[in-house]
Amino acid sequence: MSDSTVKLHYDIDAEDFTTAGEASSGVKKTLTRLGVNPELIKRISIAMYEAEINAVIHANGGFADVEITPEMVKVVISDNGPGIPCVEDAMKPGWSTASNLVREMGFGAGMGLPNMKRYTDEMCVESEVGVGTKITLIVYLNR
């Protein structure tokens, strides 16, 4: 591992809303220790939280891999879930496939992917139906 990279790995547990958010809050603590600007930390942790919750709601959990360098924070949330049939649709605010049960719990408003885009500098969604989804979120630290 190079001296100027911090790598973090988290398992995102399935179907447990009470622990969802643990990965993003762990990343938040780490970034605080590294002296990253609070406003950037907020953007990263909100975007990551959205991705984490998505993995819980839609995909029975997954993994979060985070790479921090002095230049940027890269978050990759991957799952082996059902995949997104049309990424373009999913990027539209309000578009959601969440079940009624999930909506009753206050999630599934269709703002997940749009919010991730809003709070990050770069976002990439790779998804294949029946295989899984990989969301990459990047926030630059020196812009």
Partner 1 sequence: MSDYFHSIVLEEELCKGCTNCIKKCPTDAIRVQSGKARIMKERCIDCGECVRTCPYKAKVAVTDPLEKMADFKYTIALPAPTLYLQYDISKFGRDKIMTALKMIGFDYVYEVARGAEIVTKASNIYLDKNKETRPMISSACPAIVRLIQVRFPSLIPQIMPIKSPMEVSADNARREFCEKNPGVTPDEIGVFFISPCAAKMTSVRNPIEVSKSAVNGVFSIKSLYFKLLKQMGKIKEPLNILQAGFSGVRWATIGGEAKGIESDNILYVDGVQNVIKILEQLEDDKLTDVDFIEAAACPGGCLGGPLTVENMYVARTRNFRFKSMLPKLLNEVSDVELENTEFERAPEHIDVTTLDEDITKAMQKLRNMDELYKMLPALDCGACGAPTCRALSEDIVRGKAKLTDCVFVLKDRVRNLAKEMMELEGMLPPTLDNKAEGR
User: Which of 83, 65, 32, 88 minimizes the C-alpha distance to 136?
Assistant: 65
Distances (CA, A) of 109 to 1, 21, 90, 104, 106: 39, 17, 11, 10, 8
What is the C-alpha to C-alpha distance for residues 16 and 58, in angstroms, rounded to an integer? 12
Comparison of 28 and 74: residue with beta carbon closer to partner 1: 28
Q: Can you list the alpha helix ranges (DSSP code H) found in the chain? A: 22-33, 38-59, 87-90, 100-104, 112-119
Part of the chain binding partner 1 (CB under 8 A), chosen from 40-48, 72-80, 87-95, 128-136: 40-48
Q: Which is nearer to partner 1, 80 or 117 (CB)?
A: 117
Residue 41 makes contact with partner 1 by CB under 8 A: yes
In this chain, which stretch among 9-17, 18-26, 57-65, 125-133 interacts with partner 1, using CB under 8 A? Answer: 18-26
Backbone φ, ψ for residue 16 (5° rounding):
-120, 95
Nearer to partner 1, 32 or 99 (CB): 32
Residues touching partner 1, count (CB under 8 A) = 24
Nearer to partner 1, 2 or 130 (CB): 2
- Residue 127 CB, shortest distance to partner 1, in Å, is 25
